[in-house]
């Protein structure tokens, strides 16, 4: 028997990892429904879950690469139909551009929402071709990477609608800015209770959704009269926020919010929403 014949077989690392994943998932589920005994029983019989773990894990990589390819294709299309070589040259031009491309590809691999995949590519192209070194697209890319469908539905409400009372019924009226007018908040001042009324399915997650949008500068508090991002101004706040407070002073506040607080979109939030709309995002049946 030769030396090679006596060598021990190489371990199946991928198989070991898959069995560990399946065993861990089974144990966690078993503990949740049956405490420690349930966890032990579930961990003792993982083979039934191994094929499922392998199948799911096997699909993740190809799916992620497909979405990343779509994102890069969208970037090429946004760069006047540039080819892959031209896009690569732009991406590899600096450490910053490589970092931005990495952020975009990572975000594309972690979402299943097609408009976000396309919007990421278009925003990357805009960032790569921007003449101004201080542009907003780095912020837009960071925001797009962090938001998903529920955030986008809320942002769409705040950027494209304003709350209007018809009798006792609140409606989300489409906001139409005056032709040629510079960007402003206008009537898009939303009290949390109005948001919950217009988009009831978002209500349970509203604090989290607003927090994410605010962190990226896509929305802001509308009652900060000197806030340079909201551009509401003292007169506008007195005109609209006071009316909102009067309407809801007896309605009670959503937990965590002062009754007098209102939310408004920012110009950056408008840019992000425009990108998503251009990428084919639809917000029908949002109520």
pLDDT higher than threshold 50 for residue 14: no
Name beta bridge partners: 58: none
Q: Which residue has better confidence, 264 or 3?
A: 264
Where would I find the beta strands (DSSP E) of the chain? 161-166, 169-174, 219-221, 263-265
Tokens standing for 63? 């799916």
Cα–Cα distances in angstroms (integers) from residue 189 to residues 41, 196, 240, 248, in the given order: 55, 14, 7, 14
Highest mean pLDDT (candidates 27-41, 128-142, 171-185, 267-281)? 267-281
Please state the φ and ψ torsions of residue 170, each to the nearest 5 degrees.
-90, 135
Residues 6+ apart with CB under 8 A from 26: 42, 43, 45, 46, 49
The pLDDT tens digits of the residues spanning 155-189 come to 999 999 999 988 889 999 999 998 999 999 999 99
Q: Delimit the domains of the chain by residue range.
A: 12-45, 62-146, 149-278
DSSP for residue 177: P
pLDDT higher than threshold 60 for residue 225: no
Report yes or no: 278 and 119 within 8 Å, Cβ to Cβ.
yes
Alpha carbons 224 and 1: distance in angstroms, whole number:
83
Predicted confidence at residue 273, as pLDDT, reads: 98
Predicted confidence at residue 243, as pLDDT, reads: 53
Cα–Cα distances in angstroms (integers) from residue 10 to residues 14, 32, 53, 109, 137, in the given order: 12, 36, 22, 32, 49
What is the average pLDDT score of the chain? Answer: 79
Highest mean pLDDT (candidates 56-70, 235-249, 257-271)? 56-70
Burial label, 93 (beta-carbon count in 10 A; 0-12, 13-18, 19+)? exposed
pLDDT higher than threshold 70 for residue 263: yes
pLDDT higher than threshold 60 for residue 240: no
CA 268 to chain CA centroid, nearest Å: 14
Closest C-alpha among 75, 61, 178, 54 to residue 120: 75
pLDDT higher than threshold 50 for residue 27: no
DSSP 3-state of 135: coil
Closest C-alpha among 219, 152, 227 to residue 188: 219
Predicted confidence at residue 50, as pLDDT, reads: 84
Alpha carbons 187 and 240: distance in angstroms, whole number:
7
| pLDDT class of 223 with cuts at 50, 70, 90 | low
- Mutual orientation of helices 50-78 and 114-129 as an angle, nearest 10°? 40
Alpha carbons 255 and 162: distance in angstroms, whole number:
23
Please state the φ and ψ torsions of residue 233, each to the nearest 5 degrees.
80, 155
Q: Which residue has better confidence, 257 or 139?
A: 139
């Amino acid at each position: 028997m030769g030396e090679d014949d006596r060598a021990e077989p190489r371990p199946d690392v991928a198989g070991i990892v898959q069995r560990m994943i399946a065993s861990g998932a089974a144990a966690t589920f078993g503990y949740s429904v049956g405490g420690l005994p349930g966890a032990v029983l579930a961990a003792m019989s993982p083979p039934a879950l191994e094929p499922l773990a392998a199948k799911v894990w096997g699909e993740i990589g190809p799916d992620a690469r497909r979405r990343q390819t779509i994102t890069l294709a969208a970037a090429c299309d946004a760069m006047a139909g540039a080819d892959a070589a031209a896009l690569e040259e732009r991406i590899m031009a600096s450490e910053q551009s490589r970092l931005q491309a990495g952020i975009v590809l990572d975000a594309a691999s972690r979402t299943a929402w097609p408009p976000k995949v396309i919007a990421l590519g278009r925003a990357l192209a805009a960032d790569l071709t921007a003449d101004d070194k201080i542009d907003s697209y780095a912020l837009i890319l960071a925001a797009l990477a962090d938001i998903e469908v529920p955030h986008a539905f809320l942002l769409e409400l705040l950027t494209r609608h304003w709350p209007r009372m018809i009798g006792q019924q609140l409606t989300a009226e489409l906001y139409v800015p005056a032709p040629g007018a510079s960007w402003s908040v206008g009537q898009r001042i939303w009290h949390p209770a109005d948001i919950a009324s217009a988009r009831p399915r978002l209500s349970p997650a509203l604090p989290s959704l607003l927090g994410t949008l605010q962190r990226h500068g896509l929305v802001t508090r509308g009652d900060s009269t000197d806030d340079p991002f909201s551009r509401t101004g003292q007169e506008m706040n007195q005109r609209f926020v006071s009316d909102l407070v009067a309407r809801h002073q007896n309605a009670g506040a959503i937990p965590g919010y002062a009754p007098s607080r209102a939310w408004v979109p920012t110009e950056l939030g408008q840019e992000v929403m425009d990108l998503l709309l251009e990428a084919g995002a639809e917000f029908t049946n949002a109520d």
